Structure 1
């Protein structure tokens, strides 16, 4: 659904209203029935989606490491602390509001991002034709949005909106997403044409590049001709960055014959990710150990 369409805007507005008047757990169950076509057990979570939703309800909203990790600006410090600052996309500038941007100092090509959600990106590949006023209008609107209210991902609601400007990596880049469970990368999802925000899906793969019999949506997944020569380095970087979390998806951009850190994603599809065949929802769920998180959550609730 196009972001500027009436239906998209209406849906977003309804989600915000529902978030204000309904309990978060009730909304998670409601959205799951619509999107996954099944009930979810959030008292005794077993599947991947159930555990992700449990975490986003009971741990992530107060977990500062997750909140900072989801912050597209603050996560840069986390990557630096892990000794991987060399794979960050070069930062050109950052500001609290669009009015602070000194456009004359920006290069001919650049990427503007808001840090507090997903798909808040503006690409400039020709400064001479770039519409500054439209960019400012979009950023003003985005910075007023509570992204966490849309799919009950309230850790995003704790992020202070901020703008970054990064180096333009190219007209078409590849995205390698490492699904990491309890400190170990297990699977990858590959998509392309990210620069135009369309994400032409390629598919799910094992770490040896073999295609998985798993389909996310109604499309025919493609094969990877060969893994990039720096794949092992990328996998090791994912392993370093995932150590602090029971689950996280570590994303990288592939461009200019190398790779760059993209983001950490804690709630893929808001914990409502379709699996085809459905058995993988349970198989992936078994890989996430949330027992220690549940114990901590119980202790906190007992104290309260």
Structure 2
């Protein structure tokens, strides 16, 4: 029911604006009420129906929550920002993998002054500090830019850290990014999931008949027949991308210093484009279905946790 209401709201500019205003208010209330530890314990029990084991975590969801609480890496926030990630990519000579940038805006005043005349007819607008805060403009002459700019300003007030407590987003400086529109159908999203520097599985997001699908493949491109709960599993086979081996190599290079990271690519017109680096997909706390226990434990076995380097008082308390 809630999902249906949300979809109806997001079909109009006014509804979208109202949705984001409500979310900003909810974020402030949530942050004031619960610590990260309290939030994670409550959220895990609600989704899995049992207490989280942070003393001896085994499943992938438990281990990702452990990383939120007890591990920090200074490059994770940089890589979480859809614009600043270029700083990290430059170390590997991979900055050319990013889509063409048409503009970056840091303040509400700058958003008001976006020069639409200088932009092509089609482009994509993103919030660099979040997930799913995107606007695909296929024809700039058919957009109500007064309302749309109000929505961009609401994005600037949001902090993805609050819901899910993904610490890497907490202190990001919000920016609005405008990129080149990629006009290719279908434009599949290939997400290489890496454990301790080794890709193990690929999440593939595809679109068919205007429906968004998800599926998982192993490294030999066999479908695993699983997805995250509440998503739509693909009813079709997605062919292996032409530059699969090169994407696999790049994902392994970029993941070396991280315990866990998902490296996202598009294979567009014979060219590899990097989508983003994600450290806690769907908050790291979305059950895998079907056969939840099997795959939660299997994927958890792939991840060897690092030595804790944060929140040590809580760590020692839990492990006493």
Given the two structures, how large is their TM-score scaled by the length of structure 1? Answer: 0.88
Aligned-pair RMSD on alpha carbons? 2.6
CA contact (8 A) 1:169 1:256 kept: no
SS at match of 1:291: coil
Instruction: Please list, as runs of the form range in 1=range in 2, the aligned pairs for 1:196-275 lying within 5 A after superposition.
Output: 200-217=212-229, 219-275=232-288
**After superposition, what is the alpha-carbon deviation per residue over 1:218-266, rounded to whole angstroms, capped at 9, x for unaligned?**
6443343531221111111111111110000001123334331000110
CA contact (8 A) 2:70 2:311 kept: no
User: Are 2:189 and 1:175 aligned?
Assistant: yes
Inter-CA distance 166–17: structure 2 relative to 1 (3 Å threshold): same
The Cα shift of 1:178 comes to: 0.6
Inter-CA distance 225–53: structure 2 relative to 1 (3 Å threshold): closer
Map of 1:19 onto structure 2: 31
SS at match of 2:263: strand
**After superposition, what is the alpha-carbon deviation per residue over 1:75-105, rounded to whole angstroms, capped at 9, x for unaligned?**
1221222111222111112121212422221
Structure 2: state its 5+ residue gaps: 316-320
Map of 1:291 onto structure 2: 306
Map of 2:119 onto structure 1: 106
Alpha-carbon separation, structure 2, partners of 1:138 and 1:221: 31
User: Are 2:141 and 1:131 aligned?
Assistant: no
Alpha-carbon separation, structure 1, partners of 2:228 and 2:221: 17
**After superposition, what is the alpha-carbon deviation per residue over 1:174-229, rounded to whole angstroms, capped at 9, x for unaligned?**
101111001111100111239x9x87124110011101143323644334353122
Map of 2:75 onto structure 1: 65
Map of 2:178 onto structure 1: 165
The Cα shift of 1:268 comes to: 1.0
Structure 1: state its 5+ residue gaps: none
Alpha-carbon separation, structure 1, partners of 2:278 and 2:51: 24
Alpha-carbon separation, structure 2, partners of 1:15 and 1:113: 20
Alpha-carbon separation, structure 2, partners of 1:140 and 1:51: 35
